A and B are shown apart, each in its own frame.
Chain A
Amino acid sequence: MMRLNRYGLAMAILLGAGFSGAVSAANVPEGTALAAEQDVVFNNQSEPATLDPQKIEGVPGSRVARQLFEGLVIQDDEGNILPGVAKSWDVNDDNTVFTFHLRDAQWSNGDPVTAGDFVYGWQRAVDPETASPYSWYIEMSTMKNAAAIVKGDKPPSELGVTAVDDHTLKVELDQPIPYFIRMLGHTTMMPAPRKVVEQYGDGWTRPDHMVSNGAYRLTDWVVNERIVLKRNTAYWDNEDTVLDKVTILPVASENAELSRYKAGEVDLTGGSTPLAIEHYRQLKKDIPEQIHTTGQVGTYYYSFNNQKAPFDDVRLRKALSYAINREVITDKITGQGEIPAYSFVPDITAGFTPQEPEWAKLSQGERNEKARALMKAAGYGPDHPLDVELLYNTSDNHKKIAIAIAAMWKQVLGVNVDLINQEWKTYLATERAGDFDVARAGWVGDYNEASTMLDLLTTANGNNYPQYHNPEYDQLMARSKTIVDEGKRNNLYARADAMLSRDMPVAPIFQYSTTRLVKPYVGGYPEANPEDIFYFKNMYITKH
């Protein structure tokens, strides 16, 4: 069978050709002795707020939903798109009408998965009655009428998605979105079993009621203790699935997680919260083969309040950014495979070739020199020091990073930093009110494409807390949406990225990575998925 890479997918779209790719399944090497019990325990680090695919907004819920439900597409171990319920698809010439051909798939109760289930799921996502926090995601895909339906101006039935027949789904977009296929793997885009949802309402996700179309079905859910999934024998690729049972824990405490891993009660740790560096170093010594680090499409950065003096002065923003010694932060504070960031889009992003900015090529000493000169030009220096309030939310890591950066600013530029630590919801309210000088921030992409990062700093984006307004940048990003050719589109992305480097609305600090402990007997763990997307159906337990 053919495995399509990320460019292969774009080509398939470009050619409007029928697409038929490889499937993802457990690939057990020949001669591997499997354990008699195919059970795995994964710590998700947090309790999912919901398991309803159309209401999920966080990583913990998405991770579980991905095992329970399958959308039109899934991913391989490297993050390339593979067919899921859709076995192939066609696209019209102007990239606005997509026709998906569905395979013979079943829900866990034996009912067929039809195109109507996708129509229902997507209409449900935009229906104001559902109150989905992620309905904006369907709006962003520019699906016909999505925005009007979310606003309550049109009924959900007018969404641009139609079941031509049980096996054919047609999607119409208002504007061509070149990365539309990549967006389809998101949980919001999963199908929903109408009969069950209508029968049980909000309680349809209980183990007694839930019907799912993924490799697993829900058998137990004790909030704040565990979620248990068992193999869905009705799943279309059940033959190639090895793990019978998946237990998902919500242990948030990093120490408790580590204890349970060491006690043999957890097989894979969460990876969302980095380990404390002391623990990491010890583990690196004791069990290096069990530490798995993967780059992530996400950036840790500091937002400057671009609308507030004196941070509206680009010289000052640049000076503060240049004076941050990113190597020190990634080596000494985080230290788990994070990469120093000199531009906003992570290097690992699919199809994106970053253009290293000039200042990134300098030594830290040279950058400090430049920073001092810029600071002086902006009217600040040791005789007239700048006072900065640095806002961050409660977390050991954020605190350590903030202390280090405050020290760097003090040492290099003589800046006086007042550290403001706020609890999460308070921090969000402060950030949203624009009541900060510099704020800690981070962004992890919703899909693997540069626009998921770059769109963030467009004027109209609701998450543009630095309040960066640059019409030229906005136009560039708007233009990028109309370009199907991946190479040409990425040229625009590179220009946008360079513009951010020039205007420095934010100071990128490092590119995220995921560090996870995985027991040596767990096979099939994906080492290189930049979105940290994994399916337990691809894993297996070896004899141990």
Chain B
Amino acid sequence: MIRFVFKRLLESIPTLLILITVSFVLMHAAPGSPFSGERNIPPEIMANIEAKYGLDQPLYVQYFSYLGDLLQGDLGPSFKYKDFTVNELVGQGFPVSAEIGLWAFLTALFLGVLFGTIAALRQNTWMDYGVMSLAMTGVVIPSFVLAPLLILIFAVHYQWLPAGGWQGGQWMFLVLPVLAMAAHYVSSIARIMRGSLIEVMHSNFIRTARAKGLPARYIVWRHALRPALLPVISYLGPAFVGIITGSVVIETIFGLPGIGQLFVNGSLNRDYSMVLGITVLIGALTIAFNAIVDILYAYIDPKIRY
């Protein structure tokens, strides 16, 4: 297993390098300068600004200079937020995205598995139809519709919860964004879980267990759930990264200071260092969580060995 983890780590280096190179080239190829605005800056002033940020250097020099800084953990200065470095901004934004994402993930996992299991065990009953209709609604309603709806009901009409803000992550500021973010994943997990559990429940070993007279609850809990969770787990790897690295829609609607907003604003503002920094972070997390999923697979299904 240690060899496997080590191998995965080695494999991740060229993947990350390709990711950085492609992102670097694409960012610089996009039209418009990070420093262009409504008012045109005279050439001599633009030259001063470009010199300060090293943009007066040839592209390959900028690229190797970026890689050199990156190796030392320095993501560079933000081109847009001039008072901050990218490290500071990502350091401020990532915990916010991660906290919301983690809660959304746990909510989605718990409710998704629960709903999926109920639907599978009550296949073709009103409970199955009810739960799966709810799940389908979650998939169909985009978060930019659901989030304002939640705000309208719980913040504007009843004023039970705040309409936005973070306030250091107080629980009441978390409820609506977590629900809005989790909804889509609850639905997906429930659908995957239902299908998987139905398949497992029709397999030979479950039939054998039933023939042996084991109680249904025992069969589900001890024999069916673990293998049924495998497709859910493979879905969770990339989903987890997606959730904890923030949803820009949710962050924008609720005014949350996460990295989703930084990333999108960075792209719009041509904030090269910000976009590259977050790309590297997301890339590294994706690789890491895919590796974790593989390890979990091996743990859950002893047939899988590396």
Contacts and interface: CB of A to CB of B under 8 A. Distances in A.
Interface in B80-95: 80-84, 89, 92-93
Interface string B84-113: 100001001100000000000000000000
A210 B156 CA distance: 36
B275 to A, nearest CB: 13
Given A131-B51, A462-B41, A259 B93 contact: no
Interface string B135-163: 00000000000001001100110010011
Given A52-B83, A253-B252, A256-B252, A222 B163 contact: no
Contact of B37 (A133, A203, A206, A250): A133
Contact of B80 (A49, A206, A263): A49
Contact of A226 (B53, B83, B152, B165): B165
A262 to B, nearest CB: 5
Given A202-B83, A223-B81, A259 B151 contact: yes
B56 to A, nearest CB: 11
A203 B77 CA distance: 11
Given A224-B93, A259-B151, A426-B32, A151 B261 contact: no
Interface in A227-252: 249-252
B39 A57 contact: yes
Contacts of B234: none
A47 interface: yes
Contacts of A52: 82-83
Interface string B151-190: 1100110010011111000000000000000000000000
Contacts of B67: none
A252 B83 contact: no
A51 interface: yes
Contacts of B51: 128, 131
Contacts of A224: 93, 251, 255-258, 261-262, 265
Contact of A432 (B36, B162, B255, B262): B36
Contacts of B254: 256
A517 interface: no
Contacts of A426: 30-32
A323 to B, nearest CB: 27
A51 B83 contact: yes
A55 interface: yes
B270 interface: yes
A128 B48 contact: yes
A264 interface: yes
At the interface, is chain B mostly helix, strand, loop or mixed? loop
A423 to B, nearest CB: 7
Contacts of B77: 202
Interface string A451-466: 0000000000011010
B257 A136 contact: no
Given A51-B83, A423-B268, A251 B255 contact: yes
A253 B53 CA distance: 30
A209 B306 CA distance: 54
Interface string A162-188: 000000000000000000000000000
A428 B32 contact: yes
A44 to B, nearest CB: 12
B208 interface: no
A186 to B, nearest CB: 13
Contact of A256 (B80, B159, B253): B253
A472 B278 CA distance: 52
B174 to A, nearest CB: 14
A225 B41 contact: no
A365 interface: no
A382 interface: no
Interface residues of A, number: 53
A433 B240 CA distance: 44
Contact of B164 (A131, A260, A462): A260
A379 interface: no
B40 interface: yes
B30 A223 contact: no
B156 to A, nearest CB: 5
Given A202-B82, A249-B255, A223 B93 contact: yes
A529 interface: no
Interface string A246-289: 00011111011001101111000000000000000000000000
A440 to B, nearest CB: 12
Contacts of A152: 44, 48
B49 interface: yes
A353 interface: no
Given A51-B83, A224-B261, A263-B156, A131 B52 contact: yes
B45 interface: yes
Given A225-B257, A226-B165, A462 B40 contact: yes
Contacts of B83: 50-52, 202-203, 205-206
B58 interface: no
B32 A225 contact: no
A279 B286 CA distance: 42
Contacts of A357: none
B302 interface: no
Contacts of B42: 136, 139, 150, 462
Contacts of A47: 81, 265
Contacts of A251: 164, 255
Nearest to A153: B44
Contacts of A428: 32, 36-38
Contacts of A128: 48, 51
B304 to A, nearest CB: 42
A428 B42 CA distance: 15
A463 B36 contact: no
B269 interface: yes
B100 to A, nearest CB: 13
A424 B268 contact: yes
A265 B164 contact: yes
A33 interface: no
Contacts of B129: none
16 contacts: A47-B81, A131-B48, A139-B42, A150-B42, A223-B89, A224-B262, A255-B148, A259-B155, A259-B156, A259-B163, A265-B162, A265-B163, A265-B164, A425-B33, A432-B40, A462-B41
Listed from nearest, the 5 A-B pairs whose CB atoms lie closest are A425-B32, A225-B257, A131-B52, A462-B40, A224-B257
Given A58-B37, A429-B32, 16 more contacts: A49-B82, A128-B48, A128-B51, A131-B49, A133-B37, A223-B89, A224-B255, A252-B252, A255-B148, A259-B151, A259-B164, A260-B255, A263-B159, A424-B32, A424-B268, A425-B30
Interface of B: 30-33, 35-42, 44-45, 48-49, 51-53, 77, 80-84, 89, 92-93, 148, 151-152, 155-156, 159, 162-166, 251-258, 261-262, 265, 268-270
